[in-house]
Amino acid sequence: MRSSEATRIYFDRAADQLDLSENMRRLLLTARREVQVQIPVEMDSGDLTTFIGYRVQHNNARGPMKGGLRYHPQVDLDEVRALASLMTWKTAVVNIPYGGAKGGISLDASTLSIRELERVTRRFVDAIHDLFGPDVDIPAPDMGTTPEVMAWIMNQYGKYHGFSPACVTGKPVEYHGIPGRDEATGRGVGSLTLKLLSRLGRPLPGTTVAIQGFGNVGSHTAKYLHDAECRIVAVSDAFGGFHRAEGLDVLELHRYINAHSGKLEGFPGGDRLTNAELLAMECDVLIPAALGGVLTQANAALVRAPIIVEAANAPIEPEADAIFDERGITVLPDILANAGGVTASWFEWVQNRQYYQWGLNRVRQELDRILGEAFEQVWQLSMSRKVPLRTAAYMLGVGRVGRATVLGGVE
Ligand code: NAD
């Protein structure tokens, strides 16, 4: 199933519950602008390579559009379109004054030198600098992009528009970023997992957790949950993973990937397992924190965890979601579970615009407060309307965007 069809199914369920008119559905589903650009770059070898870049600006009814920039070989317009709409509902669920957007370049960063990656990024900014900016659309990191990539974006944008740190978030702390942004998505996933466990009446200490993906989100999620006395029994990356029934040493895992270019391969503190085995592991909480579409009709029946927390965007296909629902597996949906990143990005944007800096404690406190409020609203709606958490989160997000659209008017 195409990514945009999958998000459409979830949207429709919420729209039915909200009794939205056909005209409003069409307006909310259509992106304001979709851009595809050519990015010709001279490689280190002297050869010319042409990359394709995308930016989809989905909706700005509630504020400037906001969303990550993904560097991955599977990036295409349909995936970016789906992810842009998720950002619109996500910013609305946590009630921050943004709309939704997403971008991406189809490339495999591991095959490019750092200078080539910089040239691709700067040429992409050359192509779209008139289309984004602090009051219009603000990119951020996503899979395959780092704070360094965000620094190049800010620097290149500044060549056209002058000093504008708020044109992009997720920047390095030493270059107009903020402490706490880097960990924010994982911290949010961790803190919301604890809230869910508590609401489900499950004891926290010793809760077993398996995490797919040990990049920014997966590694910070592991650290947060490990600090909260959960047992991280398995982790993986693109090359496979490791498990240990007594719990992996998460600090050792962090040290290991820092010393091995971000990769888990060769980690000595656990037994090897494949990504397929990780998804089917016996554990209390399964956290997909890598790619979309990893839980499908084909493997949903194999999942043994009673709780799934969607740290990645769209890791569960709708057919698998229906199977989990039937089996009584609780799913905390992406548009709430991983909203910590965009929330901390908002803090960064606010501070950039005020030329002011908060400390790490304030960032963490505000993040926990905003996510905690959103979780309670989604939980209550799910209970009162007797719908799954995903439908409740979509109802909250889509309802807020719909109301803003009516209040702002379309004249
Ligand atoms: P990242 O690039 O830092 O890490 C991705 C991890 O996934 C790496 O460990 C990589 O090896 C692994 N991976 C890649 N392909 C895989 C595969 N086929 N099987 C198993 N593992 C694989 O990316 P990230 O920023 O941690 O993002 C992860 C997910 O979280 C994405 O879906 C992204 O959209 C979502 N997300 C990220 C943020 C953020 O702030 N970074 C915010 C919200 C959502």
What is residue 131's DSSP assignment?
T
Atom 32 of ligand 1, residue of closest alpha carbon? 312
pLDDT band at 32 (very low <50, low <70, confident <90, very high): very high
pLDDT at res. 3: 82
Q: Which CATH class name applies to 3-168?
A: alpha beta
**Architecture of the domain delimited by 184-328:** 3-Layer(aba) Sandwich (3.40)
User: What is the model's pLDDT at position 4?
Assistant: 85
Nearest CA to ligand 1 atom 17: 238
Query: Which of 80, 142, 265 most suits a substitution to test ligand 1, by most atoms within 8 Å of the C-beta?
Result: 142
SS3 state of residue 386:
coil
Q: What are the residue ranges spanned by the domains of the chain? A: 3-168, 184-328
* φ, ψ for residue 332, nearest 5 deg: -90, 115
Q: How confident is the model at residue 249 (pLDDT cuts 50, 70, 90)?
A: very high
Q: Find the mean pLDDT for residues 224-233.
A: 97
pLDDT score for 2: 81
- Name which of 400, 389, 348 is nearest 166 in CA terms: 348
CA of 217 to the centre of ligand 1 (A): 6
Determine the Cα–Cα distance for residues 84 and 103; give it in Å rounded to an integer. 8
Quote the ligand 1 centre to 144 CA distance (angstroms). 7
Q: Which residues are the active-site residues?
A: 102
Ligand 1: distance of its center to the CA of 102 in Å?
A: 15
* The pLDDT of residue 210: 98
Minimum CA distance residue for ligand 1 atom 5: 215
Using the mean position of ligand 1's atoms as its centre, give its distance from the Cα of residue 354 in Å.
Answer: 31
pLDDT tens, residue by residue, 257-270? 999 999 999 999 99
Q: pTM for the whole thing? A: 0.96
Q: In the prediction, which pLDDT does 10 show? A: 95
Q: Is 111 left (phi over 0), alpha (psi -120 to 50) or beta?
A: alpha
Name which residue sits closest to atom 27 of ligand 1, judged by CA: 143
- Answer yes or no: is pLDDT of 411 > 90: no
> Using CB atoms within 10 A of its CB, is residue 261 exposed (0-12), middle (13-18) or buried (19+)?
exposed
| pLDDT for the residue 410 | 77
Atom of ligand 1 nearest to the CA of 313: 32
Residue range 137-143: mean pLDDT, rounded: 95
**What is the position in ligand 1's atom list of the atom closest to the CA of 334?**
44
Question: What pLDDT is stored for residue 133 in this prediction?
Answer: 98
For a pLDDT cut of 90, what percent of the chain falls above it?
A: 96
Nearest-CA residue for atom 35 of ligand 1: 312
Distance CA 126, CA 138 (A): 15
- Among 74, 79, 80, 216, name the best residue to mutate to test ligand 1's pocket (greatest count of ligand atoms within 8 A of Cβ): 216
Domains 3-168 and 184-328 share a fold: yes
SS3 39: strand
Q: How far apart are CA 367 and CA 363, in angstroms?
A: 6
Kindly list the protein residues whose Cβ atom lies closer than 6 A to any atom of ligand 1. Answer: 141-144, 185, 212-218, 236-238, 275, 289-291, 311-313, 338, 341
When pLDDT is averaged across residues 386-408 and rounded to a whole number, the result is: 97
- Decide: helix, strand or coil at residue 295: strand
Distance between Cα 77 and ligand 1 center (Å)? 19
**d(CA 216, ligand 1 centre) in Å:** 7
Minimum CA distance residue for ligand 1 atom 29: 312
Which atom of ligand 1 approaches the CA of 338 most closely? 43
- Which positions ≥6 away from 235 have C-beta within 8 Å? 210, 211, 212, 214, 218, 222, 241, 242, 248, 253, 264, 278
